[in-house]
Structure 1
Amino acid sequence: MYLPEIFEETDLERLYRLIQDYPFATLISHSAEGLEANHLPFHLLRDEHSQTATLIAHIAKNNPLHTQIENGAAVLIIFQGEHGYISPNWYPSKQQHHRHVPTWNYQVVHVKGSINFLHDEKALRGILARLTRTHEAKQATPWKMSDAPDDYIAQELQGIVGIEIPISQITGKYKLSQNREKPDALGVVDGLQQQGESRLANAVQQYIED
């Protein structure tokens, strides 16, 4: 990934937060068949004692990914945060010299690691339980695995393969108008707010304040 220093984000807490807020990611792998991309929701596991982190997910057993590559194969996972079009009309300095062009602001986190496929029932139940607890948390009455009959869950488990990826490298690129003078960056915030892009506007505002 092309990464100018001004856009590099090294704060692990911010990077982990993006993964947690935008868990639906693209898993890129390479096999004898060539490049493959799979789109999956991930869950981040953090070990505070060892300061390490692992991504977990699952795929359908019919997905050929677990037969195309072996345990230990290198993979890349891309998490996309807020992003949007930036109009040069939002820069106050445009009124002075017109030396501006459109651009795109965005947040992205790239994770590299070695993939491991999990087949045992205990591991699969653990993955499903964590994903379920996370994504059901906003429901008035969260669904639990125990809500479904045991034989049905056991049958469903036979149709999936677990994924575990210890993170070996994490890189963040937050292109949020850091290369602009403060008045122009504030103009971007105002422009995004007017477009209804409040989350991206807040992200730009945060970097102005930093």
Structure 2
Amino acid sequence: MANPIPFLIESSASERGTLLCHMARANPQWRELAAVPECLVVFQGPQDYVTPSWYATKRETGKVVPTWNYATVHAWGKPAVIDDADWLRRQIESLTQAREASRPEPWQVDDAPAAFVAAQIKGIIGVEIPICRIEGKWKVSQNRPEPDRAGVAAGYREQGDAGIPMADLVVERGKPG
């Protein structure tokens, strides 16, 4: 079973870090996690189609095909289910702080009534996953010559805000070697 779940990483908790999250008790995934020796967490970065029309090589030789650019990280570890109100409170406070920090008036867990927060915490369960293996991979046109990479980055930028993260990766990480 797979679900999009926001994770935080506690870098000092293990050699490669420990992933921390929570989910609804109603989500059966936590029971599955409690029963497995290892799980995989996938962090999907930007990804997008590459049209051959962006390649300078198309105009020169015509020997081009479409492809897909992407960036991803896979982390494996043994999950531990945490059913502790204090741990859960700290986890939601940390996650809230991470997500609210850039807002002009960040919301804080203490902004909600204490009894309400306590009731909400009863409806969630925590998970810790010490990372035992981690792999990152990106395909960002690094196999293409510089004029093609420039065309790909420009093409992504023409898509507006949605294309900017991938355009930036092509420019920053797309150089061979």
Q: TM-score, normalised by structure 1?
A: 0.77
Q: Does 1:206 align with 2:172?
A: yes
Q: 1:183 maps to which residue? A: 147
**Identical-residue share of aligned pairs (%):** 38
Q: TM-score, normalised by structure 2?
A: 0.91
Q: 2:89 maps to which residue? A: 125
Unaligned runs of 5+ in 1: 1-35
Q: Does 1:46 align with 2:11?
A: yes
- 1:79 is paired with a residue whose SS is strand
Unaligned runs of 5+ in 2: none
- Aligned counterparts of 2:33 and 2:156: Cα–Cα separation in 1: 43
- Aligned counterparts of 2:52 and 2:132: Cα–Cα separation in 1: 39
Measured after TM superposition, the shift of residue 44 of structure 1 is 1.5
- 1:37 is paired with a residue whose SS is coil
Query: What per-residue deviation string (whole Å, max 9, x for no partner) do you get for residues 123-160 of structure 1?
Result: 11111111010011122111111112221111111111
Q: State the Cα RMSD in Å.
A: 1.8
- Aligned counterparts of 1:208 and 1:150: Cα–Cα separation in 2: 49
Name the amino acid aligned to 1:204.
V
User: Which structure shows the higher strand fraction?
Assistant: 1
Count of paired positions:
174
- Aligned counterparts of 1:170 and 1:95: Cα–Cα separation in 2: 40
The 8 Å contact of residues 71 and 114 in structure 1, kept in 2 or not, is answered as no
Measured after TM superposition, the shift of residue 205 of structure 1 is 0.4
Measured after TM superposition, the shift of residue 105 of structure 1 is 0.6
Measured after TM superposition, the shift of residue 195 of structure 1 is 2.2
**Which residue of 92, 114, 122 corresponds with 1:158?**
122
